[in-house]
């Protein structure tokens, strides 16, 4: 079999990364007197690694996550109120596998978004699908399709992704329609996907965010309630 025939078969198998390098790899294998098995293993390893790098880059782009925020560059010395061991535990992404939520609560500028995004980046590296919204961005998306219950919008990113990062809850007061749409979103994801929420207000003050709707913020789990969030992993960050 000629090298051209091998290249044709590689093209059919979409081994696109190693295809243009085949001659070079064969020459190297000949010089090193590599076995056929070693050569084959090297080609496959290079292809798998290249595909994984491509997947991660593509997922990071699609996710809309802010750039430059990783767990590795979060300054835990600057933010001593954060229990690093707890973040390390979250970074295993078991909470996504278990369809749990994470709530980061604290005043502006303490690192809530950084930690949320850092966990989301980690999730992408571990193979989970991720999408990022500010609350304002999410509401714009929900309003466009308000005639369809959110639970039935299964193809939409805010429903289908394994992890949704929802940033900046509490910076604007939601009217009754927005409150209704928001809790449809929470209910649609309940026990089906994970959500990380950053907020500057504690859960007990959320009634002031959601148009003073006490019914929407009660703990009745039979309807669209905050219990879907408040029973989640709750992390407080402070300026101290």
DSSP designation for 33: T
The per-residue pLDDT for 219 is 40
Q: Is the pLDDT of residue 165 over 60?
A: yes
Alpha carbon distance 112, 104 (integer Å): 6
Q: Is the pLDDT of residue 230 over 60?
A: no
Give the tens place of pLDDT for each residue, 84-143: 999 999 999 999 999 999 999 888 888 999 999 999 999 999 999 999 999 999 999 999
Alpha carbon distance 209, 222 (integer Å): 21
User: Assign residue 187 a region: left if phi > 0, alpha if psi is -120 to 50, beta otherwise?
Assistant: alpha
Give the tens place of pLDDT for each residue, 33-62: 889 899 889 999 999 999 999 999 999 999
Of 202 and 155, the one with more pLDDT:
155
Across 15-22, average pLDDT: 85
In the sheet where 163-169 sits, what is the strand order?
130-134, 163-169, 194-199, 102-105, 233-236
DSSP designation for 191: T
The per-residue pLDDT for 218 is 52
Q: Is the pLDDT of residue 144 over 90?
A: yes
Q: List the end-to-end C-alpha distance of the chain, in Å, as a whole number.
A: 70
Give the tens place of pLDDT for each residue, 177-203: 999 999 999 999 988 999 999 999 887
CB 188 within 8 A of CB 159: yes
Mean pLDDT value across the chain: 87
Superfamily of domain 71-236: P-loop containing nucleotide triphosphate hydrolases (3.40.50.300)
The per-residue pLDDT for 232 is 60
| Cα separations in angstroms, 194 against 13, 21, 141, 189 | 35, 41, 19, 7
Entry pTM = 0.85
The per-residue pLDDT for 217 is 52
Spatial neighbors of 8 by CB under 8 A, at least 6 apart, are none
pLDDT band at 216 (very low <50, low <70, confident <90, very high): low
Backbone angles phi, psi at 131, to 5 degrees: -140, 145
Continuous segment of H or E residues that includes residue 104: strand 102-105
Hey, which of 2-11, 124-133, 217-226 has the most confident mean pLDDT?
Answer: 124-133
The per-residue pLDDT for 224 is 35
Q: Is the pLDDT of residue 12 over 80?
A: yes
The number of angstroms, rounded, from the C-alpha of 96 to the middle of its chain's C-alpha atoms is 9
Looking only at the bridges linking them, the beta strands covering 194-199 and 163-169 are parallel
CB 119 within 8 A of CB 89: no
The per-residue pLDDT for 59 is 98
Q: Is the pLDDT of residue 30 over 50?
A: yes
The residue ranges of every structural domain in the chain are 3-63, 71-236
The per-residue pLDDT for 40 is 86
Backbone angles phi, psi at 20, to 5 degrees: -70, -10
């Amino acid at each position: 079999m000629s090298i051209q025939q091998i290249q044709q078969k590689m093209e059919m198998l979409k081994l696109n990364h190693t295809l243009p390098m085949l001659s070079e790899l064969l020459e190297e294998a000949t010089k090193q007197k590599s076995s056929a098995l070693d050569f084959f293993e090297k080609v496959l390893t290079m292809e798998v690694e290249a595909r994984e790098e491509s997947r991660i880059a593509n997922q990071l782009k699609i996710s809309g996550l802010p750039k430059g925020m990783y767990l590795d560059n979060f300054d835990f010395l600057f933010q001593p109120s954060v229990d690093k061991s707890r973040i390390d535990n979250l970074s295993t992404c078991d909470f996504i596998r278990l369809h749990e939520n994470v709530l980061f609560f604290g005043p502006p500028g303490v690192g809530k978004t950084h930690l949320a995004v850092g966990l989301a980046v980690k999730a992408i590296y571990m193979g989970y699908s991720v999408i990022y919204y500010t609350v304002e961005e999410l509401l714009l998306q929900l309003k466009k399709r308000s005639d369809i219950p959110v639970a039935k919008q299964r193809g939409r990113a805010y429903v289908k992704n394994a992890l949704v990062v929802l940033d900046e809850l509490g910076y604007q007061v939601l009217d009754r329609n927005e409150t209704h749409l928001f809790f449809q979103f929470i209910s649609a994801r309940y026990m089906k996907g994970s959500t990380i929420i950053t907020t500057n207000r504690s859960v007990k003050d959320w009634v002031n965010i959601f148009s003073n709707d006490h019914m929407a913020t009660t703990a009745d789990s039979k309807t669209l309630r905050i219990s879907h969030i408040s029973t989640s992993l709750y992390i407080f960050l402070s300026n101290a």
